[in-house]
Amino acid sequence: MNEDFFVEQLKSLGGLWIHGGGAAPHALLTSGRHSNGYVNMTKVIENPMAAGDFCRALINALTLKGKPDVVAGSAMGAITIAYQVAAVYGGRTRAVYTEKVGSEMVLKRFDIAAGEKVLVVEDTMTTGGTTVKTIQALKAAGCDVLPVCGVLVNRSGKSELDIPGEAEKYKIVEVIKLDIESWDADKCPLCSAGSKALRPKENWKILNSEL
């Protein structure tokens, strides 16, 4: 199963829409920005069979030597993904998550011993900001974080992450790489070309019609 398979899988689950060009409508995001694509990873997370396929593909792409002791994601989306990845690794591999307390990301309810290898995973990476905070939270808790992050859908355009104050870079390994752009509403080239901006969830049929 290759990247194209998973792109089609995501589309068929209703988790991905890409603008087909021309004056067809485009996406109005929750942030108010306009975009030529829309990703909704909840469609994978809510489906154990599909999530399992994605997580097995991620583990194959990661090619780690041996199993990590712990797989970590950030609440909420990546909790399920970390759990599923740990389940596929099997054995004694555990799944944990970091969570927001106020404006801080912390590792709150899990014990990880010094020297245990921690793999960070994400459902989707947009800017990489959440993953950086997750790694920092784990490091602040004394964890030994592997210098690689596993991401189901990478739309950051990056192949590695910089952690402020650290010399080491973290390699990003993904199942799907997507090139999706977004713009401020008043600078949207698709509006300029006569295309209409629509909220994806409410207008899913219109966005996906062949007309």
Report the interface residues with Zn ion, using CB under 5 A.
34, 188, 190-191, 197
Q: Which is nearer to Zn ion, 145 or 180 (CB)?
A: 180
Q: How far is the CB of 129 from Zn ion (least distance, A)?
A: 24
Buried b (16+ CB within 10 A) or exposed e, 152-164: bbbbbebeebebe
Residue whose beta carbon is closest to Zn ion:
188
Q: How far is the CB of 33 from Zn ion (least distance, A)?
A: 9
Least separation in angstroms between CB 194 and Zn ion: 10
- In whole angstroms, what is the distance from residue 197 CA to residue 21 CA? 13
Tell me the closest approach of the beta carbon of residue 156 to Zn ion, in angstroms. Answer: 22
Determine contact, residues 120/131, Cβ cutoff 8 Å.
yes
Nearer to Zn ion, 138 or 190 (CB): 190
Cβ 114 vs Cβ 141: under 8 Å: no
Query: Distance between CA atoms of 161 and 167, rounded to whole angstroms?
Result: 11
Q: CA dihedral defined by 81, 83, 89, 93, rounded to 10 degrees?
A: 140
- Compare residues 19 and 43 and give the one whose CB is closer to Zn ion: 19
Q: By C-beta, is 64 or 191 nearer to Zn ion?
A: 191
Residue type, 108: K
Question: Which lies closer to Zn ion via its Cβ, residue 34 or residue 94?
Answer: 34
Q: CB neighbours (10 Å) of residue 33?
A: 16
Least distance between Zn ion and beta carbon 21 (Å) = 14
3-class secondary structure, 91: coil
